[in-house]
């Protein structure tokens, strides 16, 4: 993070509750050096807070949000970003329970950061539901967050649908995906759909937006084993 222009690297990644190749995951995160790591499917059951702190230490980041009761969402950041936190919070999103999958807790984890020199930005992690009705309800919640933010907003997440889905269409007037639709993220073993993205409001200037297929230390075949999703990367200036 360079304060002169407030340039941030955001990485959003569904970590599959750390069931994949942990060495590949950690090495990739170290290579990519995100200022903010937006996590979905953070550990939820066995020692979730301790395991999240362990991961944060391994990648040289601090836990801003997440752990026990975090609905599988977490935000890690560098010390420089952590020093700019104005406030933080996690918000549950109500769902219609129709099957076992619809009992997975959904929500939004968000931090408001002070921009050096003036202003603020809201950065959030989210994980939309498998059912379209619940994804739409979640999209309405996100839209309300954006409208009420009074600042630029960056939302990274596993959206469980592509850009032509109903929830994404609902969000499109407020939040855009600056990466090409061909930047596929799922399934990691043979990516064919872009269902993971970092969405931004119009005030955010994007320098790079892409799916990560490999890093300097982690070749493509290894990265595909780190999770069932590939990470989505975004470099921005505010």
The CATH code of the domain that includes 38 is 3.60.10.10
* 75 in a structural domain: yes
pLDDT over 90 (residue 49): yes
Confidence class for position 4, pLDDT limits 50, 70, 90? low
Is 2 contained in some domain?
Answer: no
- Residue 66 is encoded by which pair of tokens? 């997440």
Structural domain including 31 reads 7-237
pLDDT digit string, tens, across residues 211-222: 999 999 999 999
The reply to whether 1 falls in a domain is no
Report the domain count for the chain: 1
Per the CB < 8 A criterion, the answer to whether 10 and 36 are in contact is: yes
Is residue 228 in some structural domain? yes
Q: Average pLDDT over the chain, rounded to whole?
A: 96
The string of pLDDT tens digits covering residues 7-29 is 999 999 999 999 999 999 999 99
């Amino acid at each position: 993070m360079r304060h002169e222009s407030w340039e941030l690297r955001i990485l959003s990644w569904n970590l599959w509750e750390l069931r994949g190749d942990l060495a590949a995951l950690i090495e990739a995160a170290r290579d990519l050096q995100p200022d903010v790591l937006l996590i979905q499917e953070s550990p939820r059951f066995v020692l979730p807070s301790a395991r999240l702190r362990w991961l944060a230490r391994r990648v040289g980041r601090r836990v801003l949000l997440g752990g026990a009761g975090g609905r599988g969402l977490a935000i890690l950041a560098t010390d420089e970003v952590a020093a700019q936190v104005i406030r933080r919070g996690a918000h549950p999103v109500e769902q219609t329970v129709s099957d076992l999958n619809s009992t997975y807790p959904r929500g939004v984890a968000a931090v408001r950061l002070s921009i050096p020199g003036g202003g603020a930005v809201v950065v959030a992690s989210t994980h939309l539901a498998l059912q379209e009705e619940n994804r739409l309800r979640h999209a309405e919640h996100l839209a309300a967050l954006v409208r009420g933010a009074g600042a630029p907003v960056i939302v990274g997440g596993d959206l469980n649908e592509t850009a032509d889905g109903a929830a994404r269409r609902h969000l499109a007037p407020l939040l855009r995906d600056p990466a090409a639709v061909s930047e596929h993220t799922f399934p990691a073993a043979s990516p064919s759909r872009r269902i993971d993205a970092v969405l931004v409001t119009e005030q955010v200037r994007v320098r790079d937006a892409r799916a990560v297929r490999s890093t300097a230390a982690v070749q493509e075949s290894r990265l595909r084993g780190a999770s069932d999703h590939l990470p989505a990367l975004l470099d921005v200036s505010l």
